Chain A
Amino acid sequence: MASESPRANLKPLSLHVPEPKFRPGDAVDFTAVDIPAAGAARRPDTADEAKEFIDLAYSMVRVLDENNRAVGPWDPKLTPDTLRKMLRNMALVRAFDERMFRAQRQGKTSFYMKSLGEEAVSIGAAAALAADDMVFPSYRQQGVLISRGCPLEDMMNQIYSNSGDKLQGKQLPIMYSERRYSFFSISGNLTTQYPQAVGWAMASASKGDTRIAATWCGEGSTAEGDFHSALTFATVYRAPVIFNVVNNQWAISSFSGFAGAEATTFAARAVGYGIAGLRVDGNDALAVYAATEWAAERARTNQGPTLIEHFTYRAEGHSTSDDPSQYRSAGEPTAWPLGDPVMRLKNHLIALGEWDEERHAAQDLELAEMVKAAQKEAEKNGILGHGLHQPLDTLFDGVFEEMPWHLREQQAQMMAEEEASGRPWARKK
């Protein structure tokens, strides 16, 4: 067939399939990663039109420099108290993750997901948002809940699916839902929260509210159709929403190239929609704070949506079910050129003379004890696998507002089954 082609003198086409730079066993060299100097990016007025600062979708907003100083126009000039609070929250997320990861390994729950290396993304954003702005998170924004003061024990109850879990054991661990903290119910289906956040923001605007919405997804998830549908809606209706793309380089085993990173940045996704796009050093809590604050002001003053790409690195496995040594070089997490977000903020505070190693070590100890104590309390409500913690009849709750006949019949059948089995499972009172 090829010989009959009128273009027989052309070489056959070939298909490009992206390949990450490093695989297991490879030595890591990140010198090719382009990292502009801290303070170099300009800061447009929040009233400027998106097309006036397209360059910011391709460069990188950075505040903390290599001497641990906050520099340039994006320095949010936070008080030492705010900085210490953010540092504490980031360290708390880390301690919480560590404890819950271990709980999963001990068989106390089925699943857990850490955000090691990405703590600045959620903590920086939460600090810049108002407490009643609605967040539509993905599964690695536990930092928002922690920032907003959700009791650790409540989070653990959910992770254990125990009798204290107000979601009645109906959700996978870490798929929190916390209306009290303006934290939307997390879905396991990637990126479905994106259009939902836009819908919520549109409703807020049409009601003349002053609250805005923020949502997060991973860089891999930007490929979902929902992402693009959400951006289209947001630009059409100028929805007061902040889109966060957490570019942590890996989507399970697939590197960011499989979501299009070889060709452009994720912040540049905004350009085609006429949305403001910022690319931010995601391991710099001050840069994340500053970008979020700027985007929130745009949203609150009816300038519409902003898309922020947080350039960061997932330092642990994707989840407790993942083994990253199977697909990436073990050297990557430590070689990551943007460093550790907790260490960077700590060193900044020390440079300011507002913190020291002793206090930091003492805080780490205190937080570990605090998490441990919360765990002890939560485990009094049971752990997954030790019998059934929810009254059996809750299985049918919440399918509809009122239970229709066929569900009532099935519920009765289940109860009869229970009688027959002789299992001592609890009933609703």
Chain B
Amino acid sequence: MNMIQAINSALDVMMARDPDVIVMGEDVGYFGGVFRATAGLQAKHGKTRVFDTPITECGIVGVAVGMGAYGLRPVPEIQFADYIYPALDQLVSEAARLRYRSAGEFIAPMTIRSPYGGGIFGGQTHSQSPEGIFTHVSGVKTVIPATPYDAKGLLIAAIEDNDPTIFFEPKRIYNGPFNGHWDRPAENWSKHPGGEVPEGYYKVPLGKANIARSGEALTIICYGTMVHVCQKVVEEAGVDAEIIDLRTLVPLDIDTIEESVKKTGRCMIVHEATRTSGFGAELSALVQERCFYHLEAPIERVTGFDTPYPHSLEWAYFPGPVRIGQALKKIMKD
């Protein structure tokens, strides 16, 4: 399965298991979503459980809060992560705090799905990686899969979870892993072990990172599309790096990070989002706090730039093999 099919399968499995699971969003119903992640679900589960909404992101999330309070498990889709900002107030002030402010009387168990990230010539408004904003909000979980297998297992876990969860889908790898070389032919999930996805129900727990590659020379912390780019770069550079795919940013698997950095003595953090106040800053601070006496080189951060995502220069923005490779050289120097 590719990642879109895996997500579709997770939704299908959960809708069949639990009548309270509701899928809604712009174009998700009859049409099955602009990326077709919800294709066929309306025909199978009915149009009161899978339906199109008005184009108002604050409305979508606000309605989902009410549905969650009633006892449903809405899985709203925000068509692109770039359009989540109109919903920010409903998310930050309402969904994230409902349990706290009502002392557990009401909860907002929703899973907000949204494609994120660049590399598809999406311009400024179809390319951003806003995950850092949500990791800053108390009361929201943030999940980002890197393979179809994880996407299905994590989505099922998120839907069953009683907290509001943001589930960001790396759209660059919807159809196949991406090695960062934008001028080489695209790959296909069918040849990748993560593309082997069981038909039925299974969970990948939230808050547990995946060691995508084990190694001794340094630790690379990344997630989403960047997991595959880092694997390629490490392979090409012939460096014995350990690559940690975080899977969830909140809750974070700090133990796996700490154990790995203490073993290797070097730490590099890679993400596609802008650098300043990005999630890499938090990771870097955490590693410094916990592993300082084990570090043999300064922590390296490889990220997108602090500019909007430029349309025609998007490959210059993207943290590709050259940027990662240079950081790799620098961190391995002494």
Contact in complex: A189, B312 (CB < 8 Å): no
Task: Tell me the bound Cα distance from A17 to B326 in angstroms.
Answer: 54
Bound complex: CA of A201 vs CA of B82, how far in Å? Answer: 28
Residue of A110, A165, A168, A254 near B27 (CB, 8 A) is A254
Interface assignment of B103: CB less than 8 Å from any CB of chain A:
no
A225 near B58: Cβ-Cβ < 8 Å: yes
Judging by beta carbons under 8 Å apart, are B54 and A170 in contact? no
Question: Provided the pairs A170-B311, A395-B310, A396-B305 are in contact, do residues A251 and B275 lie with their beta carbons within 8 angstroms?
Answer: no
Q: How far is the CB of B66 from chain A (nearest CB, A)?
A: 14
Contacts of A168 in B (CB 8 A): 310
- State in angstroms the CA–CA spacing of A417 and B57 once bound together: 39
CB pair B47 A410 closer than 8 Å: no
B306 at the interface (CB under 8 A from A): yes
With a CB–CB cut-off of 8 A, which chain B residues contact A188?
82, 123-126
A341 close to B (CB within 8 Å)? no
Q: Does A416 contact B (CB under 8 A)?
A: yes
Whether B322 and A417, one on each chain, are in contact in the complex, defined by CB atoms closer than 8 angstroms, is yes
B326 touches A390 (CB 8 A): no
CB distance from B143 to the nearest CB of A (A): 24
Q: Mark B76-87, 1 if CB is under 8 A from A, else 0.
A: 000000110110
Residue pair A171, B56 in contact (C-beta under 8 Å): no
Knowing A252-B26, A252-B34, the reply to whether A389 touches B125 (Cβ < 8 A) is no
Are A172 and B311 in contact, CB atoms less than 8 angstroms apart? yes
B183 to chain A, nearest CB (A): 10
Q: Which B residues have a C-beta under 8 Å from some C-beta of A?
A: 26-27, 29-31, 34, 47-48, 51-59, 82-83, 85-86, 121-126, 275-276, 305-308, 310-313, 316-317, 322-323, 326
Contact in complex: A399, B306 (CB < 8 Å): yes
Given known pairs A223-B56, A223-B59, the reply for A171 and B124 (CB within 8 Å) is: yes
| Contact residue among A169, A220, A260, A417 (Cβ-Cβ distance under 8 Å from B326) | A417
Instruction: Return B318 CB to nearest CB of chain A, in Å.
Output: 11
Contacting B at CB under 8 A, from A13-49, are 14-15, 17, 19, 23
User: Which B residues touch A254, using CB under 8 A?
Assistant: 26-27, 31, 52, 55
Contact of B123 among A175, A416, A417, A421 (CB under 8 A): A175
Complex contact A390–B312 (CB within 8 A)? yes
Complex interface bits, A376-396 against B, C-beta within 8 A gives 1, otherwise 0: 000000001000111010111
Q: Is A407 interfacial (CB 8 A cutoff)?
A: yes
Q: Mark A214-226, 1 if CB is under 8 A from B, else 0.
A: 0000001101111
CB <8 Å contact, B83 and A189: yes
